Amino acid sequence: MRHATAPKIPDGFHHRGRRERLLQKIHETHGGGLVLMPTAPEMFRNRDTLYPYRPESYFHYLSGFPEPEAVLALTCDSAGKTRHILFCREKNPEREIWDGFRVGPGAASEMFAFDETFPISALNEQLPALVMNQSALLTPMGLYSDWDSTITRLLGALRTQARSGHTPPACIVDVRDVLDRMRMIKDDCEIALMRHAAAISAQAHVRAMRFARPGHFEYQVEAELQHEFMMHGAQTAYPSVVASAENACVLHYVENRRKINAGDLLLMDAGCEYQNYASDITRTFPVGRRFSAAQKDIYELVLAAQRACFDALKPGAPFRAFHDTAERVLTQGMIDLKLIKGPLDTALETGSFKRFYMHRAGHWLGLDVHDAGQYRRGEHDKTPTLLEPGMVLTVEPGCYIRADDDIPAAFHNIGVRIEDDVLITKDGIDILTSAAPKNVEEVEALCTQ
């Protein structure tokens, strides 16, 4: 499999367009206002060693700026006039010798399409003038405790100046509520990046399926996934699950330490992140041989459930529909295999199927693996969100059977999940991860090469 040429990374003017759309929404809703958005802080792994840095997703969505110690400030007045401001680290030749290149306020203005840029050290001095007399302040609350303290102290100080005619914003809103809706609909640049991430991850799964053999350890298979990610300029989007035999029945198993035996099913839930956009694939396969009869029964049941989910996905369909479809197909299959008792409607009503299938059939996907966006229209409106072109979600039914005494031995420790990334289009769906084999014949051919 050859990967397509890496897509063009969105430039500063592309991100500026997102900022303008946000400010337009704020003008329509509040008559103007101020957005303050900090990026993620650096985090220590131990002593003086930092984790690899990744910008906060909402901040990245609006700015594209990759460095820590940065704050975005966007204003819109009652006439609709906007200002795009960035506070970031100054250039520092000595620190750059140790830690690498810094953009600095001067270059950031042109590179990321800001009207004004300032050193981050000027933030506290300039915040009062930015915030006072605004009709609304939109900022993420509860995201970082230090940021919450900064905003709380600032608003308290402004309230003491009321006699001088300066007032704090009357309306304080979590800006993520507005951005969630924007992030749910991916633009062409985002789709291109996600398509590329999906292609890399699909090839990684093929590589790992060819590699896995009895006697290997789960972490050795994980290394094959990681190798493919890094060879294409990507990194893991989340800790990879490489779970053999009974480990496959643990949904978030990430230890990846067990030695794999002949005939074990191996469940791999692994996806890369490319330019901050995630992919998310799960494949399950028998190591070193073909599926046993019981393994094949469960695998084909899960595959049938996923295909039924695909049929339920289309513009205008409620998000909940494909999850309900997965439950019905899987539950009927469990009844047919005598894992649970019927009839179907009774099993669904009592939830007896949840012993073997206990999670949602999918989630939004984008800058975050479990991406921004609501599954229902609102806190008081329980109506499911309707699917629209540009939305990307996962489809991941599964079945997990532990070695309990009341279960036939042939089904013991069978854990199967099949997961793909799906783009909703105006005509239906586009399965971004279809290059990762999942038909029984294709899977067995890879595993027995």
Catalytic site residue 180? no
Catalytic site residue 14? no
Catalytic site residue 400? yes
Are the C-beta atoms of residues 332 and 305 closer than 8 Å to each other?
A: no
Catalytic site residue 419? yes
Catalytic site residue 196? no
Are the C-beta atoms of residues 297 and 265 closer than 8 Å to each other?
A: no
The dihedral through the CA atoms of 192, 193, 194, 200 has a sign that is positive
Q: Which of 359, 360, 376, 412 is catalytic?
A: 359
Q: Which of 48, 94, 404, 405 is catalytic?
A: 48
Catalytic site residue 417? yes
User: Tokens for 190?
Assistant: 């985002």
Q: Which of 21, 213, 370, 377 is catalytic?
A: 370
Q: Which of 15, 183, 205, 363 is catalytic?
A: 363
User: Tokens for 20?
Assistant: 């303008």
Q: Which of 190, 222, 273, 280 is catalytic?
A: 280
User: Tokens for 41?
Assistant: 């802080």
Q: Which of 228, 246, 371, 419 is catalytic?
A: 419
Give alpha helix (H) positions in 394-439: none
Q: Which of 246, 269, 273, 327 is catalytic?
A: 269
CA 267 from centre of chain: 20
Report how far apart, in Å, the C-alpha atoms of 75 and of each of 58, 116, 122, 149, 198 are: 17, 12, 17, 22, 36
431, 435, 438, 443 alpha-carbon torsion, rounded to 10°: 180
Q: What stretch of H or E contains 46?
A: strand 44-46
263 phi/psi in degrees, rounded to 5: 85, -10
- Residue 443, strand partner residues: none
Catalytic site residue 269? yes
Q: Which of 67, 224, 273, 396 is catalytic?
A: 396
> Looking at the annotation, which residues are catalytic?
48, 252, 269, 280, 359, 363, 370, 396, 400, 417, 419
